Amino acid sequence: MTSKDQNHDQNYDHRNVATDANSDLATGSAVRQRPELPNAYVAPQTTLQAALLNVWADILGTEKIGIQDDFFELGGDSVLATQVVSRLRDWFRMELPPIVLFDAPTIEQLANYMIANEARPGLAEKTADLLKRIEGMTEEEVTRSLLSR
């Protein structure tokens, strides 16, 4: 366990991107406030950053996460980092190393990493846009859209 792992212990109101229906945030329970951090809150600037933030908020159970907040200072640890990486791999169909959050521990750094390592330029942002659109659709609309292709 690293020193970052030991220095622990939040969501942004952009919960427009798909979240796990069984999560605390999705059910509205046990949401923690953003802790006092050495940096000021900075809101997401892109759809990709907002999507990453929503994953972190869902897994950490924390409100008002900024893009420059350190995952481990927000209460993340290696187990939660594995959950984040797993979800991002599923959503973005992108290979991410298990230790990516140790190398890119902020939303801003992680988004930059994903953009630098995407298979095709613009793919990560396009995927985030698609996830945002799907979140705004009913199940019936998603099914109809998929069947029309």
CATH number of the domain bearing residue 22:
1.10.1200.10
pLDDT of residue 26: 41
Q: Report CA-CA distances (Å) from 9 to 54, 103, 138.
A: 17, 19, 35
Question: Distance between CA atoms of 110 and 15, rounded to whole angstroms?
Answer: 18
93 is in which domain, residue-wise?
A: 3-147
pLDDT of residue 63: 84
Question: Distance between CA atoms of 64 and 34, rounded to whole angstroms?
Answer: 6
For each of the chain's 149 residues, which pLDDT tens digit applies?
A: 434 333 333 333 333 333 333 334 444 446 787 878 888 999 999 999 999 999 999 999 988 899 999 999 999 999 999 999 999 999 999 999 999 999 999 999 999 999 999 999 999 999 999 998 888 888 898 888 888 87
Contact indicator for 89, 55 with CB cutoff of 8 Å: no
Domains: count for the chain:
1
